Chains A and B, each alone.
Chain A
Amino acid sequence: MTGKHLTFTLNGEPRETSADPRTHLADFLRYGLGLTGTHVGCEHGVCGACTVIVDGVPVRSCLMLAVQIDCCTVETVEGLANGDELSPLQQAFSTHHGLQCGFCTPGMLMTLEALLRATPSPTEHDIRMAISGNICRCTGYQGIVEAALAAAAVRTSTP
């Protein structure tokens, strides 16, 4: 790949590659690195499907250029599970039917992962506000909210 040389950490692994200056982070992850778990729903920063975590903060990867991740730590949905073992948040999404078509799901998971790290015991209101920038057309959000509450309970009870 031609373009600007980049060094960053991706899902815990050090990476070194380059990216074209015009490529946004979502396209870079999907087509440059083959990490197609990150989805693109609107490409104008509203739907949240492309949310990934950069340096601990959830960001819209469609509004960020790939070259901006130089020296950063990037986390995507592919990094949440431990091998085949889903994280408590992922597992709770299944238990509480927090997903249907699965398209918004990676963005929802990354937004909520960041929320639960910052706010280990969120209220339902906290959760609804946190995901107010992630649009889901399938679930009506309730299963997602219930999943986040359940995951928070599991995470805080696990040392």
Chain B
Amino acid sequence: MSARYFGAAVARVEDPRLLAGRGRYVDDAVLPGMLHAAFVRASMAHGRIRNIDASDAKGMPGVVAIYTMADFAGIAQGAMPPMAPHPLLPTPITYHPLAVEEVCHVGEAIAIVLADDRATAEDAAAAVLLDIEELPAVADAVLAWKAGAPRVHSKRPSNIAASLKAGFSDCDAVFAKADHVLTERFDIHRGGCHSMECRGVVASVDPHSGVLTLSTSSQSPYMVRRHLATYLGRDESEIRVMTPDVGGGFGPKANVYPEEFAVALAAIKTGRPVKWIEDRQEHFVATTQQRGQVWTLDVAFDNDGRMRAIRGHCIHDNGAYAPYGLILPATALASFPGPYALEALDLTIDVVLTNLVPTSPVRGACRPNAAFLLERLADRIARHLGIDRQQVRRRSFVRADQMPYSTGMKARDGSPISYDSGDYIAALDLVLDKIGAAGFEARRAAAADRGKLLGLGIASCVEDTGLGPFEGASVRVTPAGKVVVSTGASSQGQGHRTAFAQIAADALGVELNDVMVETADTSRFPLGMSTIASRIAVTAGSSVELAAQKVRAKAIAFASHKLEVGEQDLELEGGAVRVKGVPGMNVSLSEIARTLAGNVGISLPGGMEPDLAATAYFNSTALTFAYGANACEVEIDPETGDVRVVRYVVVHDCGKLINPLIVDGQIRGGVVHGIGNALFERMIYDEAGQPLTTTYADYFLPLASEMPPIEIHHVETPSPRNPIGVKGAGEGGTIPAAACVISAVENALGSNAPFIHLHPISPQQVVKWLERTASAAKA
């Protein structure tokens, strides 16, 4: 077999349809008799529901029904099942589909309005009269963490939902022996996520079979099915969940949401299809956000810059509910020690409830936080010792000759974490070479002549990818000779159909266009988990390879029997099994598939099993570790404090590339997400938990006019931990990006500037720092 497609930058098979305006997103569906839903939501961050008066609203023309949780009592009741139960959360902190008794953040859904059209539903939602007794709210995780703070949930004894610990070896002993110890406090902002398509769901019940079908803009359709089945007390076979085209996910759409349940309940209750499409304002208050944390860290290091140990504490802003358990804070801990070969580590995270919309993984989950902390500490050590920043890295990174390297940390299942492959110092060398670090001071001087401050930033990261246990795939050749790949993995724009088709086409010797890929429909493939954690290329990609190889072997066995030729003399090419070197002696996949599809009364040849098809579940038992080194240059206008990223270079190793076009796109999009985190995206709440930035005029997403071109250099170290040698690539762009930009900003501000311990930064802050630096220089 020759790899014709694997590794090639082939254009995506998804594209023509999407470019022609023929995508099918959830809001594009119209079902007969469909009702449109709007939610009545909490307008205060904490309150006790005394009364909901929908009498006027129900009488408005076009309004069909208005339901609260009590109206669904005959179908289901109680809080939603937790997606990721954790022993430290004995009482799950999950939503009800619609709030009962208490609301704990602005935007929490209280009632669902069903009408003939969305406008009517929204008008009626505004006419529902809520009598809610306002309770004290706490919107700041540090305040919520303190004793005596208002309770986020009146019935929970503490705002600290759980305390997580991680580490290894005797930290205090290493600190006692180290040459230096520094302490820093870090403040990483919460931020939103903002896929360009908001969430949405259409639910309907088949009147004959009773099957409940959901089309939902989700990263986790199988989790929606699983938890909805549990909640409704139904068998999973009575629920079908599928994802249509999804307009971006980036993490929040991995959650199972109360609106999905409420819409399903409304469809069951009315017997009519119900559609709900989140609008952007709802997205700001009801879709999970990202990664607010406050850390205090001590770092121990030696005179030569070698980072030896880290210990510290984090206050993690969880928001009001924990639908996804403790996944996000646990990921923060699991991201240590990054590329650094630490001798000891001792970290504690207090997971703190606030009266804000929950946080959950967003592109990188809390890996960008860990990268920010580690890279900031490395820069801080360099400043303290007066040595080059890269020297700290060179003396502290895990070396290539230490691979596979056991970090000392434990995975979720308790197994030791070990980095499989990579050369972090070589990646750093390469990125410094590519950005021209040697010529930087000359560029800095030239910028100074133009009145601008130029800064060089560096940041590295290690990323655990390919999270198990599996995403499966089946590969089937139809009697027409087409190949159908089916998998539970949902796609939100990552080009899964193309990547899987590339793998299958190579294995079976067919053209890319002969492969059709079905994804994320519970009626088409039995099991699935989630498109999260940069895991699909590793898990589903490997399963496609394994299944396709099984099909290949079966086709060869069939042809060997039919042609009476040894298997070693056969190859797959051009849609047929051919005898090597004997033109014309072949049997087509179509013929094999047709024969194995069976004919009444005729035995299958050679005692073969029916169907030219196979299913595989690659068992991803060990994480595979991608890594990267980034460097960037920022230019600061000292008059306005405006920061522009003018160059950005990525060196990235995600193992073998299935499609470089797609991987580069993932990395570039990821970097821009991180630049947004560093410079633009700020989700502001007042003290009472009211969100103040709920439009794109207030909340700044990165724009084309502000973004630099991003230069990418791949290092391909095949992963030894899966059959196709790949590592995940979806989040590696984001993880070090904010750290890299902040490193450059600090470098631009000069050696007297304050240490930057937070992001995002604002032009106002930059001007203040420059003023402080100038006055310090005068003094």
Contacts and interface: CB of A to CB of B under 8 A. Distances in A.
Interface of A: 22-23, 30-31, 35-44, 46-47, 49, 76-78, 80-81, 84, 86, 90, 93-95, 97, 99-106, 109, 127-129, 131-145
B564 interface: no
Contact of B668 (A78, A104, A143): A143
B493 A101 contact: yes
Contacts of A40: 27
Main secondary structure of the interface of B (DSSP, over half): loop
Main secondary structure of the interface of A (DSSP, over half): loop
Contact of B493 (A76, A90, A102): A102
14 contacts: A37-B20, A37-B22, A40-B27, A44-B280, A77-B19, A90-B20, A97-B661, A97-B665, A101-B247, A102-B245, A132-B704, A137-B194, A138-B248, A142-B709
Given A103-B493, A104-B247, A105-B19, 6 more contacts: A39-B25, A80-B19, A100-B495, A101-B195, A131-B704, A135-B701
A136 B196 contact: yes
A76 B661 CA distance: 28
Nearest to A110: B21
Nearest to B733: A140
Interface stretch (B8-16, B98-106, B320-328): B8-16
A100 B669 contact: yes
Interface in B243-276: 245-248, 250
Nearest to A22: B119
A46 B696 contact: yes
Contacts of B14: 102
Contacts of B216: none
B518 to A, nearest CB: 18
Contacts of B20: 37, 77-78, 80-81, 86, 90
Given A49-B196, A103-B248, A134 B704 contact: yes
B707 A140 contact: yes
Contacts of B670: 140
B197 interface: yes
Question: What 3 A-B pairs have minimum CB-CB distances, sorted nearest first?
Answer: A37-B21, A101-B493, A103-B247
Contacts of B245: 101-102
A36 B247 CA distance: 13
Interface string B194-224: 1111100000000000000000000000000
A43 B122 CA distance: 14
B304 interface: no
B279 interface: yes
A140 B710 contact: yes
Nearest to B701: A135
Nearest to A44: B695
A41 B25 CA distance: 12
A36 B26 CA distance: 11
Given A44-B695, A132-B705, A102 B18 contact: yes
Of A43, A141, A144, A145, most B-chain CB atoms within 10 Å: A141
A72 B717 CA distance: 57
Of A39, A49, A131, A133, most B-chain CB atoms within 10 Å: A39
B672 interface: yes
A140 to B, nearest CB: 3
Given A94-B12, A101-B493, A140-B710, A47 B696 contact: yes
Contacts of A31: 30
Interface in B703-732: 703-707, 709-710
Contacts of B662: 97
A35 B30 CA distance: 12
